[in-house]
A and B are shown apart, each in its own frame.
Chain A
């Protein structure tokens, strides 16, 4: 399954002073994969939706939430 966020598990030393974050992650937004944008890609239905998404094309939309608030970094 394609995700815009990738995860990895860094080495954790028994002597690390901070409580370890076992799963770390980083963003991989769509411009890394799209290549030269093909013509006639589907667009958002209204100009207002495009404005609030920050792009005219769903293929380039990259949602972002703080991973600390989403809770997928840590445990």
Chain B
């Protein structure tokens, strides 16, 4: 089971009300390489992978939920009290008529999140390499959002999240090495 902890993993700050940046950030909330997809991908793969990497998938999957909450916090702060007029100017008019200021699991162009963002091949090597690729894609997405953002306080949080993808990729690369190891290979029939 899981326990919720009533705190963020990292102090999230946002300088100003800016729904335009929220529209970009939603990519990491409900997009293909976003935090929701990451969390669900890793936690789902746990059931069909060798025991020695289940712990890692569990812990990175759990951390991704902490990142999802950070993104939600950024979007919440960027759009809190934004008027319908401001939402419209930010390109969030269509979002507004559907959801008001509510968050929604969608990508930056408004496409709803879908389970087909998640691969689960059942082959340990294919799945771990999928995870390495997912981390690199999430890292790249953070770079493109940072390139679009002029809010230094928001960028501080985004750079932190980008760095976490670097570390996750490192650990998945190590997991691939562990799966390749000779130790524990012997099976007699």
Give A residues with C-beta under 8 Å from B.
27, 29-31, 34, 36-37, 51-55, 60-69
Residue in B147, B161, B162, B173 whose CB lies within 8 Å of A62:
B162
Asked whether, in the complex, the Cβ of B143 is within 8 Å of the Cβ of A53, the reply is no
Q: Chain B's interface: helix, strand, loop or mixed, by majority? A: helix
Is A37 a contact of B143 with CB atoms below 8 Å?
A: no
Residues on A with beta carbons closer than 8 Å to the beta carbon of B174 = 36-37
Q: Once bound together, how far apart are the Cα atoms of A30 and B166, in whole Å?
A: 8
Contact of A64 among B146, B167, B169, B170 (CB under 8 A): B146
Q: Which residues of A contact B167 (CB under 8 A)?
A: 31, 54-55, 60
- Whether the Cβ atoms of B146 and A66 lie closer than 8 Å is yes
Query: From residue A65, how far is it (CB to closest CB) to chain B in Å?
Result: 8
Binding site for A on B (CB under 8 A): 10, 139-140, 142-143, 146-147, 159-164, 166-167, 169-170, 173-174, 177
Q: Which residues of chain A have C-beta atoms less than 8 A from B164's C-beta?
A: 54
A-B contact count (CB 8 A): 52
* Given known A36-B174, A37-B170, A51-B10, contact A27–B163 (CB-CB < 8 A): no
Would B166 and A55 count as touching, CB distance under 8 A?
Answer: yes
User: Which A residues lie within 8 Å of B139 (CB)?
Assistant: 27, 29
- Chain B contacts of A30 at CB under 8 A? 166, 170
Q: How far is the CB of A9 from chain B (nearest CB, A)?
A: 20
Q: What are 7 A-B contacts with C-beta separation under 8 Å?
A: A34-B170, A36-B174, A52-B160, A55-B166, A60-B163, A63-B159, A64-B143
Which residues of chain A have C-beta atoms less than 8 A from B160's C-beta? Answer: 52, 54
Known A-B contacts A29-B166, A60-B166; the reply to A36 vs B177 at CB < 8 A is yes
Given contacts A29-B139, A31-B169, contact A67 B163 (CB under 8 A): no
Closest CB in chain A relative to B170 CB, distance in Å? 4
Interface pair B173/A31, CB less than 8 Å apart: yes
**Cα separation A67 to B144 with both chains bound (whole Å):** 10
CB distance from A40 to the nearest CB of B (A): 16
| Across the A-B interface, the 4 shortest Cβ-Cβ residue pairs | A54-B163, A31-B170, A66-B147, A54-B160
Known contacts A27-B143, A31-B167, A55-B166; 9 further A-B pairs (Cβ under 8 A) = A29-B139, A31-B166, A37-B170, A54-B162, A54-B163, A54-B167, A55-B163, A62-B162, A66-B147
CB-defined contacts of B162 to chain A, threshold 8 Å:
54, 62, 64
